[in-house]
Structure 1
Protein backbone atom coordinates (compact mmCIF):
# COMPACT_ATOMS: atom_id res chain seq x y z
CA UNK A 1 0.00 0.00 0.00
CA UNK A 2 1.38 3.39 -0.95
CA UNK A 3 0.86 6.62 0.89
CA UNK A 4 1.06 9.87 -0.98
CA UNK A 5 1.68 13.16 0.73
CA UNK A 6 0.24 16.35 -0.67
CA UNK A 7 1.35 19.81 0.35
CA UNK A 8 -0.73 22.90 -0.29
CA UNK A 9 0.09 26.57 -0.32
CA UNK A 10 -2.04 28.84 1.80
CA UNK A 11 -4.66 30.69 -0.21
CA UNK A 12 -5.92 34.04 1.03
CA UNK A 13 -9.45 34.99 0.02
CA UNK A 14 -11.13 38.36 0.33
CA UNK A 15 -13.84 37.24 2.77
CA UNK A 16 -16.01 39.43 4.94
CA UNK A 17 -14.90 39.57 8.60
CA UNK A 18 -15.57 36.24 10.33
CA UNK A 19 -16.01 36.76 14.07
CA UNK A 20 -17.31 34.85 17.05
CA UNK A 21 -18.71 31.35 17.40
CA UNK A 22 -19.25 29.42 14.19
CA UNK A 23 -17.35 32.15 12.33
CA UNK A 24 -20.30 34.48 12.78
CA UNK A 25 -22.62 32.11 10.93
CA UNK A 26 -26.05 31.04 12.13
CA UNK A 27 -25.85 28.73 15.14
CA UNK A 28 -26.89 25.16 14.21
CA UNK A 29 -30.59 24.37 14.58
CA UNK A 30 -32.92 21.53 13.64
CA UNK A 31 -33.49 22.87 10.11
CA UNK A 32 -30.55 22.08 7.77
CA UNK A 33 -28.97 24.95 5.85
CA UNK A 34 -25.75 25.51 3.93
CA UNK A 35 -22.97 26.53 6.28
CA UNK A 36 -20.72 29.43 5.32
CA UNK A 37 -21.76 29.53 1.66
CA UNK A 38 -18.82 30.37 -0.62
CA UNK A 39 -16.40 30.01 2.31
CA UNK A 40 -16.76 26.41 3.53
CA UNK A 41 -19.42 25.36 1.02
CA UNK A 42 -17.77 26.45 -2.21
CA UNK A 43 -18.99 25.61 -5.72
CA UNK A 44 -15.44 24.82 -6.89
CA UNK A 45 -15.11 21.69 -4.74
CA UNK A 46 -17.11 18.74 -3.45
CA UNK A 47 -17.39 18.48 0.31
CA UNK A 48 -16.38 15.02 1.45
CA UNK A 49 -17.29 15.06 5.13
CA UNK A 50 -19.37 16.71 7.77
CA UNK A 51 -17.94 19.76 9.48
CA UNK A 52 -16.11 19.21 12.73
CA UNK A 53 -16.58 22.23 14.99
CA UNK A 54 -14.69 22.59 18.26
CA UNK A 55 -16.75 22.78 21.48
CA UNK A 56 -15.89 26.50 21.78
CA UNK A 57 -16.94 27.08 18.16
CA UNK A 58 -13.63 28.75 17.32
CA UNK A 59 -12.18 26.03 15.07
CA UNK A 60 -13.79 24.33 12.09
CA UNK A 61 -12.41 21.43 10.06
CA UNK A 62 -13.73 19.87 6.84
CA UNK A 63 -12.48 18.00 3.82
CA UNK A 64 -13.25 18.39 0.14
CA UNK A 65 -12.21 17.17 -3.29
CA UNK A 66 -10.76 20.08 -5.22
CA UNK A 67 -9.67 20.63 -8.79
CA UNK A 68 -7.40 23.43 -7.56
CA UNK A 69 -4.86 20.80 -6.48
CA UNK A 70 -4.46 18.01 -9.02
CA UNK A 71 -2.89 14.61 -8.43
CA UNK A 72 0.82 14.35 -9.26
CA UNK A 73 -0.10 12.90 -12.67
CA UNK A 74 -2.30 15.98 -13.29
CA UNK A 75 -5.32 13.83 -14.07
CA UNK A 76 -7.69 14.20 -11.15
CA UNK A 77 -8.89 16.10 -8.14
CA UNK A 78 -7.32 15.57 -4.75
CA UNK A 79 -8.86 15.48 -1.32
CA UNK A 80 -7.81 18.31 0.98
CA UNK A 81 -8.32 18.94 4.67
CA UNK A 82 -9.24 22.55 5.44
CA UNK A 83 -9.56 24.39 8.73
CA UNK A 84 -10.34 27.80 10.03
CA UNK A 85 -9.49 29.10 13.49
CA UNK A 86 -10.43 32.32 15.22
CA UNK A 87 -7.39 34.15 16.55
CA UNK A 88 -7.52 37.60 18.15
CA UNK A 89 -11.32 37.55 17.72
CA UNK A 90 -11.00 37.19 13.91
Structure 2
Protein backbone atom coordinates (compact mmCIF):
# COMPACT_ATOMS: atom_id res chain seq x y z
CA UNK A 1 0.00 0.00 0.00
CA UNK A 2 1.47 3.35 -0.97
CA UNK A 3 1.05 6.66 0.85
CA UNK A 4 -1.28 7.86 -1.90
CA UNK A 5 -3.54 4.82 -1.42
CA UNK A 6 -3.96 5.37 2.31
CA UNK A 7 -6.67 7.85 3.22
CA UNK A 8 -7.37 9.01 6.76
CA UNK A 9 -10.41 6.71 6.70
CA UNK A 10 -8.18 3.72 6.18
CA UNK A 11 -5.63 4.44 8.91
CA UNK A 12 -7.68 2.26 11.24
CA UNK A 13 -7.61 -0.55 8.65
CA UNK A 14 -3.83 -0.10 8.34
CA UNK A 15 -3.58 -0.44 12.13
CA UNK A 16 -5.76 -3.56 12.12
CA UNK A 17 -3.61 -5.23 9.46
CA UNK A 18 -0.35 -4.36 11.16
CA UNK A 19 -1.58 -5.40 14.58
CA UNK A 20 -2.56 -8.75 13.15
CA UNK A 21 0.83 -9.13 11.40
CA UNK A 22 2.92 -7.80 14.28
CA UNK A 23 1.05 -9.11 17.29
CA UNK A 24 -1.25 -11.83 16.01
CA UNK A 25 -4.35 -9.96 17.16
CA UNK A 26 -7.29 -11.13 15.01
CA UNK A 27 -9.02 -8.27 13.13
CA UNK A 28 -12.44 -9.27 14.46
CA UNK A 29 -11.18 -8.53 17.97
CA UNK A 30 -10.34 -4.94 16.99
CA UNK A 31 -12.67 -1.96 17.11
CA UNK A 32 -11.93 1.76 17.30
CA UNK A 33 -12.76 1.66 21.02
CA UNK A 34 -10.32 -1.21 21.71
CA UNK A 35 -7.76 0.00 24.18
CA UNK A 36 -4.13 -0.85 23.59
CA UNK A 37 -3.84 -2.13 27.16
CA UNK A 38 -6.81 -4.49 26.75
CA UNK A 39 -5.22 -5.84 23.58
CA UNK A 40 -1.99 -6.53 25.45
CA UNK A 41 0.00 -3.97 23.49
CA UNK A 42 2.97 -2.92 25.58
CA UNK A 43 5.17 0.15 25.13
CA UNK A 44 7.59 -1.68 22.81
CA UNK A 45 4.77 -2.74 20.49
CA UNK A 46 3.39 0.82 20.59
CA UNK A 47 6.78 2.13 19.53
CA UNK A 48 6.96 -0.43 16.73
CA UNK A 49 3.57 0.72 15.42
CA UNK A 50 4.64 4.37 15.59
CA UNK A 51 7.87 3.67 13.68
CA UNK A 52 5.93 1.67 11.09
CA UNK A 53 3.44 4.53 10.69
CA UNK A 54 6.31 6.95 10.20
CA UNK A 55 7.95 4.73 7.60
CA UNK A 56 4.89 3.45 5.76
CA UNK A 57 2.44 6.35 6.07
CA UNK A 58 4.86 9.25 5.99
CA UNK A 59 3.93 10.38 9.48
CA UNK A 60 6.32 12.43 11.57
CA UNK A 61 5.07 11.89 15.10
CA UNK A 62 6.92 13.89 17.76
CA UNK A 63 7.72 12.32 21.11
CA UNK A 64 5.49 14.93 22.75
CA UNK A 65 2.47 13.36 20.98
CA UNK A 66 3.11 9.94 22.50
CA UNK A 67 0.90 10.51 25.51
CA UNK A 68 -1.40 8.14 27.37
CA UNK A 69 -4.37 9.90 25.82
CA UNK A 70 -3.07 9.55 22.25
CA UNK A 71 -2.04 5.93 22.83
CA UNK A 72 -5.18 4.93 24.73
CA UNK A 73 -7.24 3.23 22.02
CA UNK A 74 -7.06 2.34 18.36
CA UNK A 75 -9.25 5.37 17.67
CA UNK A 76 -6.91 7.81 19.44
CA UNK A 77 -3.81 6.19 17.93
CA UNK A 78 -5.34 6.37 14.46
CA UNK A 79 -6.25 10.04 14.98
CA UNK A 80 -2.72 10.81 16.20
CA UNK A 81 -1.19 9.15 13.15
CA UNK A 82 -3.56 11.09 10.88
CA UNK A 83 -2.64 14.38 12.57
CA UNK A 84 1.04 13.92 11.80
CA UNK A 85 0.87 12.11 8.44
CA UNK A 86 1.40 15.13 6.26
CA UNK A 87 3.91 16.90 8.48
CA UNK A 88 7.14 15.17 7.44
CA UNK A 89 10.10 17.55 7.42
TM-score (norm 2): 0.35
Greater length-normalized contact order (CA 8 Å, ≥ 6 residues apart): 2
Structure with higher Rg: it is 1
